[in-house]
Chains A and B, each alone.
Chain A
């Protein structure tokens, strides 16, 4: 079963995404900020990370820095889910993400997005 980590400070948004993805049969773990995100990434070793950029405590950029430097986790694909202001062209993100997706995203589109990266892995 593929495991997805959602790093976002918006609890309601996380709840929706979690519910949608669990419906699809994914195992979903969550983190409320970049710092928790790093802890969860190292502990859970997810197959995909959905990352918010603007977060308290540790934002997506700082998360990216540590993530890049840790070779045990840096190969995990990251999808950046950003609202308008955080869009990559405003400010280049210092790490490779497989895709930028702008919020809000419809549940169907979220499923399509995740399937694109995880469909080859056995659910």
Chain B
């Protein structure tokens, strides 16, 4: 058995067999109608004299028998085990056998060998050839010819009675040996030829089926191998990514730890814990301290990029009130602004929009934008009264390490690049307009991020 689920239990040969068995049931209904129609028209239209009662009894039997087969088929359809194929074939064999017997009995009551419908045996043997194995088909063909011959000779020798189709054929035609033999031989030639042709065609079809099955299995197996290869590749990449993030965290920590220690030692002296510091000493220490601050910031920013790219941000995402995020990111900045003689003006909507995102990262974006000194969607605009951005710098502004040509203050050159990556990770957009079209000077940075989808709507 194959591993893949939809293939298990699927045997096309069996499916075809089941379909054909149900075709036989449908045919048998028609046959009953046909027999009644033919019998009635023979009797009343063509005035052929024979007894209708046995014909109706046989039809009744056919109806009951066919209904039973119909029920049996329905039960068979639910069965998907491999055993069922044998059961279906046996059922088919028995059905053909019973149909042959019914035909023979029907013929007996309607003129025996002289009834032209004697050639209906060909239909039965053809059905057997399509449905069953070659051996079984020839077996049933022989039985059919045998039954016809038995009927003819039993009537010929008077062992059983004969119904003369008076008004249609010469009386006692069944007693003419030449006629009897010619019908039997013709029937034999017809049935065996049809069986030969049908089994050959059916056999060919079965071969094709088998080839198709083998090919399909092969393709499925190849697919499965390919799928396994891809999934293991995905797992490998995920593992690699996880270990890379871990490595980054270790590197960041180990780069920062000594700087933090140095900074603390310097601060200890600067803050006067190790005795009074004269202004010249203080100046030199502060220069060193500032450089360490810059380096710490650079390390943080530099290692932020792969961390955002590697999707770590997704883990931090939650539903947030944007107003709160903005308020938090402005804490402390007012003092910084005041020191530079600037004022932070904040305009927030009354009802805060809710977004799905990382509070810390969005705060980082807003802080970065402010530090740059320059409705299905939420837009946050940060404008400044700064020096503005020369037009030639605008396209590259969000690139790594890109710094405006007219900027003198120091920074890592990564702030806006990180901001763009964070906003991208929130499925948003960020852009800058300089000079600010509203005021004609300074710059305005705007980012939009999608609002949280309200699932109840």
Contacts and interface: CB of A to CB of B under 8 A. Distances in A.
Interface stretch (A13-21, A35-43, A61-69, A70-78): A13-21
B261 A13 contact: yes
Contact of A13 (B253, B264, B271): B264
Nearest to B271: A107
A104 B271 contact: no
Q: What is the interface residue range for chain B against chain A? A: 20 to 34
Interface in B116-164: none
Interface in A1-50: 10, 12-13, 16-17, 19-20, 23
Nearest to B359: A89
Interface hub of B256, B261, B312, B359 (most chain A Cβ within 10 A) = B261
A17 B261 CA distance: 10
Contacts of A108: 271
Contacts of A13: 260-261, 264
Interface residue SS majority, chain A: helix
Interface string A74-108: 00000000011111011000000000000111111
A86 B260 CA distance: 14
B356 interface: no
Contacts of A103: 256, 260
B358 A89 contact: yes
Given A89-B359, A106-B267, A54 B253 contact: yes
Given A10-B257, A89-B359, A104-B263, A16 B249 contact: no
Nearest to B358: A89
A83 B256 CA distance: 7
A90 B271 contact: no
B73 interface: no
B436 interface: no
Contacts of B46: none
Given A85-B252, A89-B360, A90-B312, A20 B268 contact: yes
A105 B360 CA distance: 20
Question: When A and B form their complex, which 3 residue pairs have the shortest distance between CB atoms, in order from nearest?
Answer: A12-B261, A104-B263, A16-B264
A16 B261 CA distance: 8
A107 B273 contact: yes
Contact of B271 (A54, A86, A106): A106
Interface hub of A10, A84, A104 (most chain B Cβ within 10 A) = A104
Contacts of A84: 252, 256, 300
B373 to A, nearest CB: 23
A99 to B, nearest CB: 15
B265 interface: yes
Contact of A83 (B253, B262, B265, B358): B253
Interface of A: 10, 12-13, 16-17, 19-20, 23, 54, 83-87, 89-90, 103-108
19 contacts: A10-B257, A10-B261, A13-B260, A13-B261, A16-B264, A17-B264, A20-B268, A23-B273, A83-B256, A83-B260, A84-B252, A84-B300, A85-B249, A85-B256, A89-B360, A90-B312, A106-B267, A107-B267, A107-B268
A83 B296 CA distance: 10
B316 interface: yes
A85 B271 contact: no
A73 to B, nearest CB: 27
Given A54-B253, A106-B267, A107-B268, A19 B273 contact: yes
B261 A86 contact: no
Nearest to A20: B273
Interface hub of A17, A19, A85, A107 (most chain B Cβ within 10 A) = A85
Nearest to A103: B260
Given A12-B265, A19-B268, A20-B268, A104 B260 contact: yes
Given A10-B260, A16-B268, A17-B264, 5 more contacts: A16-B265, A16-B267, A23-B273, A54-B253, A83-B253
A85 B316 contact: no
Contacts of A85: 249, 252-253, 256
A19 B268 CA distance: 9
A19 B263 CA distance: 15
Nearest to A82: B253
A50 to B, nearest CB: 13
A32 B54 CA distance: 108
Contacts of B256: 83-85, 103
A23 B273 CA distance: 8
Interface hub of B249, B262, B267, B359 (most chain A Cβ within 10 A) = B267
